[in-house]
Amino acid sequence: MAERRKLIAGNWKMNGLKADGLELASDLAGRLKGAGAVAFDMLVCPPFPLLFPVGEAIADSPLALGGQDCAAKLSGAHTGDISPQMLKDAGCGFVILGHSERRQDHGETDAVVKAKAEAAIGQGLVAIVCVGETEAQREAGQADAVVGAQVAGSLPAGANAATVVIAYEPVWAIGTGKTATPADVAAMHGFIRAELAKVLGDADKVRILYGGSVKPGNAAELMATADVDGALVGGASLKADDFWAIGTSCR
């Protein structure tokens, strides 16, 4: 089995003003520096206005920086959009794309996510592509079909383990306190890897994160689940102690 280093990614969503964001990121950066060798990579994805100050505050630490979305274009007349080039300029190495909140609130389709991923990868960013079924789709037995179609439709040609991370986030588990069972997570992650193998040469090296109500109390079990290569964490990434505990639960 390919060695896949765990990635613990914090999605701050629309939370955090400058002072809080700087404190949180600096705290995590300090813990990472002080910890020496750890079994995980750690990433924070603050709101856009905080990228530059947070990027500067953590520049000399192993803590990575990412955006929560980006445009499919690099510059031009696109009011309100942020380009992948701008993320790179702010010190980002990653960008979350196709989060279910973007798919729901902004009507992002697989084709849109794919175009954004292509642009992001072209700027040297790693695209964290989010997929996941709704509760109704799971109850109707459609979870595999929905997620399989999202994976196939959202990945640009030529993507590989160095340029793409997948985040499986069942929509019904996000911010609800409900998590998928480890057995369901293992089954879905195995299915996603098999789908990836149809389109990528190095599917066994691609990191597949689980997201949806990951907390310190359930992290160790989820992170030890087959084919789980890290976590995309929302609520619990806003508290340094909780987010750090999720990281250190990785073995």
Which residues are at the interface with ligand PGA (CB under 6 A)?
A: 11, 169, 174-175, 211-214, 232-236
Cβ 59 to ligand PGA shortest distance, Å:
25
How many Å apart are CA 84 and CA 75, to the nearest integer?
A: 9
Assess contact for 82 and 70: CB atoms under 8 A: yes
Integer-rounded Cα radius of gyration of the chain:
17
139 flagged as catalytic: no
- CB closer to ligand PGA out of 11 and 249: 11
With left for phi above 0 and alpha for psi between -120 and 50, is residue 80 left, alpha or beta? Answer: left
Cβ 214 to ligand PGA shortest distance, Å:
5
Cβ 178 to ligand PGA shortest distance, Å:
9
CA 181 to chain centre: 20
3 flagged as catalytic: no
Cβ 231 to ligand PGA shortest distance, Å:
8
**Catalytic residue selected from 108, 118, 133, 169:** 169
Give the number of residues written for the chain.
Answer: 251
- CB closer to ligand PGA out of 13 and 193: 13
At 243, the amino acid letter reads F
How many Å apart are CA 31 and CA 139, to the nearest integer?
A: 41
Q: Catalytic amino acids?
A: 99, 169
